[in-house]
């Protein structure tokens, strides 16, 4: 189960994902937290400008590599709205970051994209549990307040507002055929 501090960080990730949607971006947000609970950095998705590598998890890995010692990186935790994609998982591993705690899984995201008739991601989703060489991965959290719908609402709620030419993905609601 997720504790109160982790829940606060995950809720902040959902807020950042919502900010990304409001800016016309895909809905993802992440927070980097030191071992003592200090928030070191946070970011949201910024891929709408055309650089498809501007994922928050990737940005935080680069931030940490430039500013933290190897020991500080290993002790840090990345909280994120969604399970890492392959690119972000690689940046996390190469950067030597510690734990990952995520609110929604790759399987959930794939299901939500399918429900909205969106194109699948350009790279097959990554199941973090398969990565034995990396630190601990936790998520999603059945039964937590995050499961009440705030996470799925944040991630799916704005698909109809994102235009395909802004994101490179067809992330829109299919026409109503009723």
* Per-residue model confidence as pLDDT tens digits over 45-101: 999 999 999 999 999 999 999 999 999 999 999 999 888 888 898 899 999 999 999
Average pLDDT, the chain: 76
How many whole angstroms separate alpha carbon 112 and alpha carbon 126?
A: 16
Residues 6 or more apart whose Cβ sits within 8 Å of residue 86: 123, 124, 126
Class of domain 4-162: alpha beta
Q: How far is CA 51 from the centre of its chain?
A: 17
Domain ranges for the chain: 4-162
Confidence bin at 27 (pLDDT 50/70/90): confident
Share of the chain above pLDDT 90, in %: 42
* pLDDT score, position 59: 97
* Per-residue model confidence as pLDDT tens digits over 94-127: 999 999 998 886 676 666 666 666 676 666 666 6
How many whole angstroms separate alpha carbon 118 and alpha carbon 85?
A: 17
pTM confidence score:
0.75
């Amino acid at each position: 189960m997720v504790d109160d501090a982790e829940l606060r960080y995950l809720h902040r990730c959902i807020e950042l994902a919502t900010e990304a949607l409001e800016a016309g971006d895909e809905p993802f947000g992440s927070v980097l937290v030191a071992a003592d609970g200090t928030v070191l950095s946070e970011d949201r998705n910024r891929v709408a400008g055309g650089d498809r590598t501007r994922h928050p998890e990737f940005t935080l890995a680069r931030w940490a590599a430039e500013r933290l010692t190897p020991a500080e990186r290993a002790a840090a935790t990345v909280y994120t709205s969604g399970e890492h994609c392959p690119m972000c998982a690689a940046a996390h591993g190469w950067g030597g970051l510690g734990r990952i705690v995520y609110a929604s899984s790759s399987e959930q995201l794939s299901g939500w994209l399918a429900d909205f008739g969106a194109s699948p991601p350009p790279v097959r989703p990554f199941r973090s549990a398969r990565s034995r060489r990396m630190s601990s991965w936790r998520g999603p959290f059945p039964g937590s307040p995050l499961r009440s719908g705030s996470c799925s609402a944040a991630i799916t709620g704005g698909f109809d507002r994102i235009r395909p030419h802004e994101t490179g993905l067809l992330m829109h609601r299919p026409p109503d055929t009723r």
